[in-house]
Structure 1
């Protein structure tokens, strides 16, 4: 019988006891430190590493170090851990438009304005809401991430083997991710490669930002294809060859073609005008960036899969408001 893995909070009157947890097939392969950080939610990372160093955590009755990788059938002793009391941050259960689902994968169409996970001032995101709505799910993890204001395809793994397979495919460049975006400016080329090194940094108020920098920047490559050209705007398809933070946004902004509605790297005066547009068809209150297509190999069947998500309604309305394209 599988033991309850939640850490006993300080507010309970029951005496704290060590727990003995048997590792399942889906949990196997993780490092013991990462496993403990996941199951001991709310416990400071420093404390998790302290109980590892002290030998209070045991696997099959023996001491292990933090690099030990769990094997199916391992019995892990988790010592009594007392949490400081904190308010109940309730996560509302939510489901999202499902593009594809089977026993290994869940692919949803994420709306704009929803974070993929909690953190950085956001108490919860897509992954926490999906877990709340699927309490019986043994495993559910994000395969990749989307910016909060980006809509479209988001992959989640329902098995650790699927997560590992898809991460390997992405690392080896075997997946194909495409985005639709509207930029401001007179875009010329039918197909354009942008290769600019990107450097991540944090602002004084804790906000994550990215800038173009050859010194310390990571090599980044995006291919842009012109789909439709309008007076002052262009609809592009972006093909990611690398997957850096804010890559599409910074590559376009640094090239003089900010994404319409981008509140970090965009044309702020234009964004404000579009938000206040009296004609609702021409108004845009979000960033026009949508993950519309992804191609990968199914981790179990080996079948090549291409999934699509239709352009979000608010972006479609803005696109229609621009009238007939020039090209």
Structure 2
């Protein structure tokens, strides 16, 4: 009589991992997300905050960047059951440019760039699922879930490090288009209010203008006025969380459809017109190639939903 053997996940145990040149420069949280596939993101961050994850026997924060030769203590972490489905549906996104070092895609609104905060998966996980043979795919920067447009993905560690260094030092130019509430009048305006992250009573992350915050610089240019609304261009000279959204809202010109810093009434009005997103689009990206230094410029036109709203305002403003 044949026995039925039931296999279970082995009991997790502490691991010590040596960091090589390929992992050097990566944030510890991102490294663990790749190393501990299937472990809930919240568990990883709890382990980091609680000091269970250590580097060279010392406590670290989630934004610690690994160095070659580091020894990482990886604690026992709860893995999903072997029969628990944790599949990520593969997805193909519009590719604007691709070579051996990087991919530039045109991300649609409503898609997170990575899993977490109630989202099981995002662009990067779906691209990895669609390209199972790709040895390396990592986000070079981020876009908010409701922001559409140009997104950089590195295909090599060296390219990722170069792109991170470039953005940290203010290299390259990132241009956006936004429809704001209000009659914007200045042709060009520099916004330099410092921005500070904070948490609401429910634990939701927000950003506000605050003297104790980090330096932030946005350049706003007038593109077209539509009475109560204005289409503006926004160039990021720094890359703070929600930077364009908070700078514009603090100036009295919140972005149409912004569910964190905008008006519920305005969002409801545009929803009745069939517009159910935030009107913020990453339209142009100018960077040197991360490996060759060759100047590159990429463009993504406004999505159809945005152009339809512009057409409506043209006729009804």
TM-score after normalising by structure 2: 0.82
Aligned residue number for residue 117 of structure 1: 114
- Could you tell me which runs of 5 or more consecutive residues in structure 2 were left unpaired when the two chains were aligned: 1-6, 59-63
TM superposition shift of 1:82: 7.0
Helix, strand or coil: the match of 1:293? strand
Residue of structure 1 equivalent to 2:269: 273
1:284 matches 2:282:
no
Which of residues 199, 202, 222 in structure 2 aligns to 1:202?
199
Aligned partner of 1:231 in structure 2 is 227
SS of residue paired to 2:8: coil
For 2:310, what is the secondary structure of its paired residue? helix
Matching residue within 56, 66, 69 for 2:67? 69
1:317 aligns with 2:308: yes
Kindly indicate whether the alpha-carbon contact (under 8 Å) linking 1:229 and 1:325 is maintained by their aligned counterparts in 2: no
CA, structure 1 residues 68+200, in 2 after alignment: closer, same or farther (shift >3 Å)? closer
SS in 1 for 2:270: helix
1:245 aligns with 2:249: no
Query: How far is 1:27 from its partner?
Result: 3.8
Residue correspondences, number: 296
- What runs of 5+ residues in structure 1 fail to find an aligned partner? 1-9, 55-65, 278-282
Any idea what SS the aligned residue of 2:179 has?
Answer: strand
Rate the CA distance shift 1:50–1:257 in 2: closer, same or farther, 3 A. Answer: closer
Picking from 241, 251, 254, the partner of 1:255 is: 251
Do residues 129 (structure 1) and 126 (structure 2) align? yes
Give, in whole Å, the separation in 1 of the partners of 2:29 and 2:126.
25
- Give, in angstroms, the shift of residue 147 of structure 1: 0.5
Aligned partners of 1:180 and 1:135: how far apart in 2?
34
Deviates more, 1:45-54 or 1:112-121: 45-54
Deviation for aligned residue 1:271: 1.4
Counterpart Cα distance in 2 of 1:36 and 1:52: 16
2:294 aligned with 1:303: yes
The whole-number CA distance in structure 1 between the counterparts of 2:223 and 2:32 is 48
CA 1:101 to 1:266, structure 2 compared with 1: closer, same or farther past 3 Å?
A: same
Whole-angstrom distance in 1 between the partners of 2:54 and 2:205:
30
Q: Secondary structure at the match of 2:53?
A: helix
Paired with 1:77 and 1:264, the residues of 2 have a C-alpha distance of 37
What value does the CA root-mean-square deviation take over the aligned residues? 3.3
- Per-residue CA deviations over 1:148-186 (Å, capped at 9, x if unaligned) read 000000001000100111111111111100000011111
Is the 1:117–1:126 contact (alpha carbons within 8 Å) kept by the matching residues of 2?
A: yes
Q: Distance in 2 between matches of 1:50 and 1:169?
A: 28
Matched with 2:158 is 161
**Alpha-carbon distance change, 81 to 259 in structure 1, aligned in 2, over 3 angstroms:** closer
Q: How far does the alpha carbon of each residue in 1:234-270 deviate from its partner, in whole angstroms, 9 at most, with x for none?
A: 1111011111111111111111111111111112212
Distance 1:252 1:32 in 2: 33
Preserved CA contact (<8 Å) 1:97 1:110:
yes
